[in-house]
Structures are given as structure tokens and as C-alpha cells.
Chain A
Amino acid sequence: MSETVSAAEPGKAPEESEQCESYLEAGGHTLMSWLTTTDHKRIGILYAIAITFFFFIAGIAIGLVRLELMSPRGLFLSDDEYNRLFSLHGIVMVWFFLVPSIPATFGNFFLPLMIGAKDVAFPRLNLLSWYVYLLAAGFACYAIVAGGVDTGWTFYTPFSSLYSNGNVLAAAAGVFVAGFSSIATGVNFITTTHMLRAPGMTWFRLPLFVWAIYATSVVIVLATPILAMSLLLIIAERLFGLPVFNPNDGGDPILFQHLFWFYSHPAVYIMILPAMGVISEVFTCFARRHIFGYAMMIYAILGIAVIGFFVWGHHMFVSGESQFANLMFSLLSFLVAVPSAIKVFNWTATLYRGSISFEAPMVYAMGFVGLFTMGGLTGLFLASIPIDVHVTDTYFVVAHFHYIMVGGSVSAFFAALHFWWPKITGKLYSEAWARFAAVIMFLGFNSTFLPQYIMGYTGMPRRYHVYPPEFQAYHVLSSMGALVLLTAYMLPLVYLTWSLFHGKKAPANPWRATGLEWQTPSPPPEYNFEEIPRVDTLPYEYHPENQGGPFRPQGKVIGGK
């Protein structure tokens, strides 16, 4: 504790090993070398490209929706087109962007690096996951091109199984297949974390990002099969008339909701836990201070992952579920909020007596904490049954989960992107532009979604194409916010791409961070480390004393050979 190994001058030592080729060089530059790679780092990038594509597809869809909603009678879409656009937005954002977002890109890239491994446990399975994801994306694209699907992302029966005239089969098949990709990635990460930790990297020395990805993977592996089953049942009823949900044949329409939310509530944590992991890394690094309550943070992650499985009924308070069930689900939903609250307090306390600087990743991360807190607190409103009865299926709920999923997860995605960009690409981006984009994103986000809370409270139902004119002012505000937000999302695309070609070369450890991923050159060599690192300390040994002075990396690898 007391002795502080003064770190190598940032970016100096690793540079000496110029002779080792980076993963971007090794294997060549051909397209083939990328499509057949089993390097977890390259696969992470393949995922990044694919999910960015889908992020903008789903973004365009909702852009059209927001434009349409400027007028209470609609502007240029038919009812069906409108329904298909918001369904497309939901389905693509959830399964083709958010679920794979942080785990499949940064998880893939950094999990092995952070635990001091050469690759994931099953590199070929890893590549297969990506191809399975593409296959799923193919189904989804077919569903879109062939006319779209109009069930919303929730696929409620018996509408989806019997009444919808959209491409439910293709869309459900897409989501079904995407599940296998998630599961394969999850299994891979779990095995990697168990088997490939470097010597000395004990469980209680793992960085919190690793813990978060690990917990997420467990949730993925346990929950996703339920989604697969419920989608199969829809397909069976729609295609073969198997009477599962159709009440006229003795089926139970509510059963689907139980199955769906049994997956989809944990899926919320699949989307937010990795984000929490990222924020922990960033806060501790830019505050130059050991994360406050490291052990508690781990228990919080595990607590969320476990209790998250028992709260699905809070989506069904008005479905006709029994009052007793409602009360239990309400109670458990309050409980699952406790660890999330603890995490917010711990991040805040990490700043105490730190030596804080505000580089772009930190600005994004602080945005996350603000938005996540607002989203989380409105989660308590929704856990209260009487409040939920009024605001469920209104814009209040829409605002709530966008605060978590977009304000939270997407902000964290950008925090991660900026934090690790120098490591991934070996290039530095423009700090000023990055901070500017972070601030615009925060403001654009709030102007899009704050009005939605208010209109939800006043009773504006969600998924409405036309609406009473008294809600128009809120819709217009929200749509203008969405325009700002869209602009903010385009900015990183521009300045990050620019940095690829004109950015300054990044040193190995530009943030003077402690994680193992920083103790190897930027970009890392094909097998990550020249020599397997040896870990001899806790993560996050930052010492703020001398103006953010010395720090102690988790392990020594530098200058190997």
C-alpha cells in the first residue's frame, strides 16, 4: 500500500519494442485477413462496424418517427408505416445494437487484455458468433426490406402470433438467431474469465469492467434461451397454428408476457451492467483515485445480476396479474434498485480527494452518472404499483428506459470508445471536439426525453401515430431535441475517422492508467503481450498526491523478452 512504484514515463517503455507488429499489421491488411481472423481484437472491431451500421439504421427510423410526430395528425406516414418504423427502431436498437454493443466490442477487445490473456478461450467460436450475428442481421434486414414488422419490439401475443400482417416470422427468426450469437459470446467470456487470468490475477483483483462483463455473460447464458423459446412458440402458433397463446383454443395470451419479460428484464441488465463497468474504469482513472468500495461494487454487480431475474412481473402490473404477484414484484423491484443506487454513490465518492481532470471519456462518464440517476429514480416510480398503473404504456415509460438505455448505456459506450480509442487504433483524437460532442449529446438527450416524462404523466400513450393536439408542444420539443442528439452522434463519426488518418500517434498509456491493457503498446501486438504479465496488486492503485502523480500498474510486462 505505502510503497508506490513510480510508473514508467507514460508511453515510453513500450515504444522501445517497435519491432513487434501490431494486431492491425500482423496477418495483413486484406479483407480476407479480417473476415477470417480469430483475433479477439479484430473481431471486436468487426462487431463495432456492424453495430454502428445498425445504430444508424435504427436511428434513421426513429428520426422519421419523431418528424412525423411534429404534427398531431401526422405528416407523411400511414398508420402502418408509422407502426413499422417504431417497431424497426426498437427491434434493431435492442438486439442488433444495445445487447451486443459494449460486450461484443469492448468486451471482446479488452476482456483478454485486462486479465492478461492472449485471446479469448475459444477464438474460433468468437468469430462464429459474429457470423451468426450477421445471419441474424440478414433475417432482420429481410424483414425490413420485405415490408417491415408492426409488433413493436415486445412481440405481444396474440397480436404477433395471429393478427399482425407484418413479417413477424422473419423478425422473430432474426432475434432468435441473434440469441445464439449472444450465448456463444457469453460462454466464451465466462470461460475466458475462469481459465485465462494471468498469474496473480485473482478474482478480487479483477478490474470492475471484467466483473461486469462476466456477470453480463452469465445473465446472457441463463436468460437468452427463454427468449428463444418464446419466439419459437410465436413461430409455431403463427406458422402451424399450435394453440399456445390463442384463448379461443384454450391458450393463454399472458403466458407470452411472462416468458418475454423473464428474458427482457434481465436483458435490461445485459445492456446496463457493462456500461457500469466502463464508468468504474473511467472514473477511477480520471479521478486518480482507487475506486471507492471496490468489493461493494462487485457485490452490487452480482446482486443486480441475481435479483434482476425475479422482477419481470413489474412490466405486467396492469395485465391482470394477481395483486399478490404485483406486490412481490414491486418489492423485488425496489430491492434491485438498491445496488444500483450504491454504485452511483460509490462513483461520486471516488471523486472525493481525487485529482480530477476532465478529458473526453470523463465528460461522457459524468453525463452517464447524471442521466442514469434520473433514469434509475424514475424506475422507483414505475416500481410503485399505483404510479405504474397510470404511466405504464405512456411516454413516461419511454422516457424512463431511454434514460437508462441511451442516457446510460450509449453514453457509457462513448465513454469507452474515447477511453480506449488510443489503445485500439494507436491514434489520438481531438480532445476539444470530443468534449464538445459529449456536452451536446447530454443537452440533446435531455431536450429529447425530459418532455416525454411530462407528457407521459399527462397521459400521452406510447406508440401513437396520431394524438390529441394538447400534447403537440411536448412532441415538437422532443423532436427538436432528437435533431440535436442526432447531430451529436454524427460528430464522433467525423472526428474519430479523421483521427485515424491525421491523429497524433498514441503512446502506450496516454491516461496513465493501471489496467494491464495499458501495459502493452498501442495498438497491441497480435497476442496482446510479449510475455504473459504477472499481476501483483489490486486494480486502480492510483495515488493522487502530487497532482495526480504516481500510479502502480496491475502488472509488469513492459520491456519483456
Chain B
Amino acid sequence: MEGFAPKASSYASQWDWFFFVLVTVSSIVVATVFVAIVHFSIRYRRGVNARREPVSETFSNRLEFSWTAGTALAFLAIFWWAAAFQLRDFVPPEGALQIHVIGKQWMWKIQQPNGVREIDEIHAPIGRPVQLIMTSEDVIHSMFLPALRLKQDVLPGRYTYLWFNADKPGVYHLFCAEFCGTSHSRMTGRFVLMTPTEYSRWSAAQPEADNLARQGQALFSSLGCSGCHSKSSSVPAPDLHGVFGNPVQLSDGRSIIADEAYIHDSIVLPEKDIVAGFAPIMPSFAGQVSEEQIIKLVAYIRSLSTERHP
């Protein structure tokens, strides 16, 4: 955690550049206003001889018009620049490493893709895109990784995402940035960036390194999902192969892409989206499955669509 405002990605470096250009522009504006005020204050202070006749109407109108148009254009330019910057890196590239994050008062629970669990620590490799898939078990938290210049609120009942491609190994801060109660300021941790080889060595060395999808598969039968959702079942329930990532036709005519949030809600709020052609007989598992178990179930259902890619 050495250094002043350490940066761990090329995005963070570009961010800093943008930030300091804005600081420079602002300083120039402040200096200009300041110099003008001081200059007028001296030149036109009471008791000093100076020209004081009124300025002409046309002159002041022109002045007014030009600084209005000038500021408007300058602001639009900054907006444009910022928006372009924002949109360029918004969508994560294919094949990002997915790390699940659950916030709860007052800790971070992390699930690595290979099933390794961490508390208040995220280990991640540099040199490849990594995506955080986050949700909360109680109030709103916010995942703040200052070394990456990134932050994203973590919401109950919803998934939010953050992705990055870091390039500098090291240990950095991880903060909760949204006030969440008593120990909010202690909901912090370590963000550990490692080279890919170190990272695989690290994850292999962890206990319970059974992969998430496999753990999900075990849950799928122990919770009784397979009783309905299997080829041999007598209950009419949709086959979950190939569901994830594809559009689902719903009974009310809508069609939505089956993403994490959809699978999540299918489990805890099944009556929200009913698959077309099926009766709403699936029971809600709210209160019976934890967010961690849901992550595993989602990983399993995802693996049914991407068999070759665990």
C-alpha cells in the first residue's frame, strides 16, 4: 500500500490523466477570476482616479453572449470527453474471470471461480479481465477499489458488476464506500493482485478448491431441484440445459435474457417470471438458500449452457 494514490491498471493511469487535466483547467479558471477580482479591486478602489464611465450596451451584451456560449461549449466538451471515456470500457470483454462478491454487515465474502472462499480479501490475477459479480445480503454496500479508480454499489436483491484489467501486482485497499451501519469503517480489506502464475499457485494451495459449479450441482440435488428439473422427473419443469445466457419466453409474453439476476429471482421469487408453457408450481426458496448457495447454483446452471468451459 505504498505510494501516494497508487494505481494498478492502465485505466487508473488514464483516469489520473483526465483528472489532472481537469484540475489544470479549473486552476486556470480560478486564477483568472482571482486575478480579475484583485486587478479590479486595486485599479478601481475608492479614492483612486480611473475611468468610470458606463460601458456601452453593445459591448456588455457581446461580452455576456460570448462568455455564456464559451462556458456552454467548454462544458459540453468536457462532458463529451468524460462520456466517451466512460463508455469505452463499460462492457467487459468475453472470457473474463468471474469472482463473486457478497456484502453483508460488515464483511465481504468472496467466492473465487474455482470455489475458493475468502473473507475481506480479493485475490485476482493481473493481465486478464476480471469481473466482480456482486450482491448484498442486507443493506446497500459499495465496493471501492481506489487503486483501480473504480467503485460500484452492492445492492440487496440485485446483482451489480465491476470489471477491470489490472497490470501491477501488489496489495491495495478494498473499502466499503456506502454507509452501512455501526462498523461501516471496518468493512475494509485487502485487494491482492498477483501474476497469473502466482495466482494459480495460490488458488491451488487453498483448501476446498472444489469448483463452484460442482458445489452447485451437489446443492441442486440436495435441495431437491433435480426432483423437478431432470429428464427423468414426472413433474413438468423446464430443462435447464442451454437456458443461461439465452432468451427465455415468459408466460406473460415478455422475453428476457437468462442472466445471474434472472436465475437468482427464479429461485427466490419464482412467481415473478413464469416460463411460458409451465404451471407456476415451483416453490420459493427464499430463506432456505443463502446468497452463497445461490451463487453456486447459478454457476452450476451456467455450466449446463457452457459445458466445455467450467
Chain A residues at the B interface, C-beta cutoff of 8 Å: 79-80, 83, 150-152, 154, 156, 158-159, 162-164, 247-248, 250, 253-254, 287-288, 290, 292-293, 296, 318-320, 323, 326-327, 330-331, 334-335, 337-338, 341-342, 344-346, 348-349, 351-358, 366, 369-370, 373-374, 377-378, 380-381, 383-387, 389-390, 392-394, 457-459, 461-468, 470, 544-545, 547-548
Q: In the complex the two chains form, is A327's CB within 8 Å of B105's CB?
A: no
Contact A320 B152 (CB under 8 A): yes
In the docked arrangement, what's the CA distance between A152 and B181, Å? 10
Q: Is the CB of A318 within 8 A of B173?
A: no
Contact residues in B for A163 (Cβ distance below 8 Å): 105, 138-139, 181
- Given A377-B30, A381-B19, A459-B173 in contact, is the A338-B156 Cβ separation under 8 Å? no
Known: A150-B182, A318-B151. A342 touches B47 (CB 8 A): no
Chain A residues, Cβ within 8 Å of B279: none
Q: Are B30 and A352 in contact (CB under 8 A)?
A: no
Assess the A159–B140 pair: CB atoms within 8 A. Answer: yes
Q: Is B179 within 8 A of A156, CB to CB? A: yes
| Residues of A close to B182: CB separation below 8 A | 79-80, 83, 150
Contacts of B157 in A (CB 8 A): 247-248, 253
Quick check: B82 and A330 within 8 Å, CB to CB? yes
* Complex contact A349–B63 (CB within 8 A): yes
A-B contact pairs, 6 of them (CB 8 A): A163-B139, A326-B86, A348-B37, A349-B60, A381-B19, A464-B184
Contact flags (1/0) for B98-112 with A, using CB distance below 8 Å? 000000010000000
Cβ contact within 8 Å between B146 and A458: yes
Residues of B within 8 A of A393 (CB): 142, 144, 151, 177-178
Q: Are B142 and A293 in contact (CB under 8 A)?
A: no
Residues in B whose Cβ lies below 8 Å from that of A374: 26, 30
Residues of chain B within 8 A (CB-CB) of A385 are 82-83, 86
Q: Contact at B173–A468, with CB atoms within 8 Å?
A: yes
B residues at A contact (CB < 8 Å):
1, 4-5, 15, 18-19, 22, 26, 29-30, 33-34, 36-37, 40-41, 44-47, 50-55, 60, 63-64, 67-68, 71-72, 75-76, 78-79, 81-83, 85-87, 90, 105, 138-140, 142, 144, 146-147, 149-153, 155-158, 160, 173, 175-186, 188, 269, 272, 286
- Assess the A338–B87 pair: CB atoms within 8 A: no
Cα–Cα distance between A268 and B124 once the two chains are bound (Å): 41
- A352 near B64 with CB under 8 A, answer no
Task: Contact check, B140 vs A338: say whether CB atoms are below 8 A apart.
Answer: no
Least Cβ–Cβ distance between A286 and chain B, in angstroms: 9
* Cβ B151 vs Cβ A389 within 8 A: yes
Bound-complex Cα distance A545 to B79 (A):
44
In the complex, what distance in Å separates the CA atom of A326 from the CA atom of B152? 13
Q: A338-B75, A464-B185 are in contact. Are A470 and B1 (CB under 8 A)?
A: yes
A359 to chain B, nearest CB (A): 10
Which of these, A318, A377, A548, contacts B46 with CB under 8 Å? A548
Task: Give me 19 other A-B pairs in contact (C-beta within 8 A), A356-B45, A384-B78, A461-B175 excluded.
Answer: A79-B184, A79-B186, A83-B184, A150-B182, A156-B139, A247-B157, A250-B269, A290-B54, A341-B71, A348-B33, A353-B50, A355-B44, A355-B46, A384-B81, A387-B19, A390-B15, A390-B151, A463-B185, A545-B52
Distance in angstroms between the alpha carbons of A296 and B65 in the assembled complex = 10
* Chain A residues with CB under 8 A of B55: 352-353
Q: Are B29 and A373 in contact (CB-based, < 8 A)?
A: yes
**Nearest CB on A from B223, distance (A):** 19
Known contacts A83-B184, A163-B105, A352-B40; is A387 also within 8 Å of B156 by CB?
no
Q: A292–B55 Cα gap in the complex (Å)?
A: 10
* Contact (Cβ within 8 A) B44 A387: no
Given contacts A352-B55, A356-B45, contact A330 B22 (CB under 8 A): no
Nearest CB on A from B13, distance (A):
13
**Cβ B177 vs Cβ A394 within 8 A:** yes
Out of B37, B51, B68, B144, which one reaches A353, CB within 8 Å? B51
Interface centre among A250, A389, A466, A547 (most CB of B within 10 A): A389
In the complex formed, the residue of B with least CB distance to A78 is B182
**What's the Cα separation between A547 and B147 when bound, in Å?**
58
Are B22 and A466 within 8 A (Cβ)?
no
Task: For residue A450, give the distance in angstroms from its CB to the closest CB of chain B.
Answer: 12
Which residues from A are CB-within-8-Å of B158? 247, 320
Report B-chain residues with C-beta under 8 Å of the C-beta of A354: 40, 44, 52
Hey, which chain B residues are within 8 Å of A381, CB to CB? 19, 22, 26
Closest Cβ of chain B to A442, distance in Å, is 13
Q: Are A386 and B18 in contact (CB under 8 A)?
A: yes
Q: Which residues of A contact B186 (CB under 8 A)?
A: 79, 466
CB neighbours (8 Å) of A338 from chain B are 68, 71-72, 75
Q: How far is the CB of A381 from chain B (nearest CB, A)?
A: 6
Instruction: Decide: A373 and B146 in contact? CB cutoff 8 A.
Output: no
Residue ID in chain B nearest A164 by CB atoms: B181
CB nearest neighbor in A for B147? A459
- Known contacts A318-B152, A351-B44; A384 and B60 CB within 8 A of each other: no
Residue ID in chain A nearest B89 by CB atoms: A386
Instruction: Return chain B residues, CB-CB under 8 Å to A320.
Output: 152-153, 155, 158, 160
Write the nearest CB–CB distance from B103 to chain A, whole angstroms: 12
Q: Given A318-B152, A331-B79, A464-B185, does the pair A352, B180 have CB atoms closer than 8 Å?
A: no
Determine if A377 and B75 form an interchain contact, defined as CB atoms under 8 angstroms apart: no
Contact partner, B82, options A344, A346, A386, Cβ 8 Å: A386
Measured between beta carbons, the chain B residues less than 8 angstroms from A159 are 139-140, 179-181
Of the candidates B19, B76, B140, B179, which one forms a contact with A463 in the assembled complex, judged by CB atoms under 8 Å apart? B179
Q: Can you name the residue of chain B whose Cβ is closest to the Cβ of A288?
A: B46
**A386 with B85, Cβ < 8 A, contacts A83-B184, A159-B181, A353-B53 known:** yes
Residues of A within 8 A of B160 (CB): 320
**4 nearest CB pairs, A to B:** A247-B157, A459-B146, A384-B82, A351-B40
Q: Identify the closest chain A residue to B23 (Cβ).
A: A381
**Contact assessment for A319 and B153 in the assembled complex, using a CB-CB cutoff below 8 Å:** yes
Name the one of A247, A287, A318, A386 contacting B153, with C-beta atoms under 8 angstroms.
Answer: A318
Q: Return the contact of A253 from the options B41, B105, B140 (Cβ within 8 A).
A: B140
A residues in contact with B18, CB < 8 Å: 384, 386-387
CB of A168 to closest CB in B, whole Å: 12
Partner of B33, one of A80, A373, A545: A373
Min CB–CB distance B256 → chain A (angstroms)? 15
> Knowing A327-B83, A356-B41, A458-B4 touch, does A369 contact B33 (C-beta < 8 A)?
yes
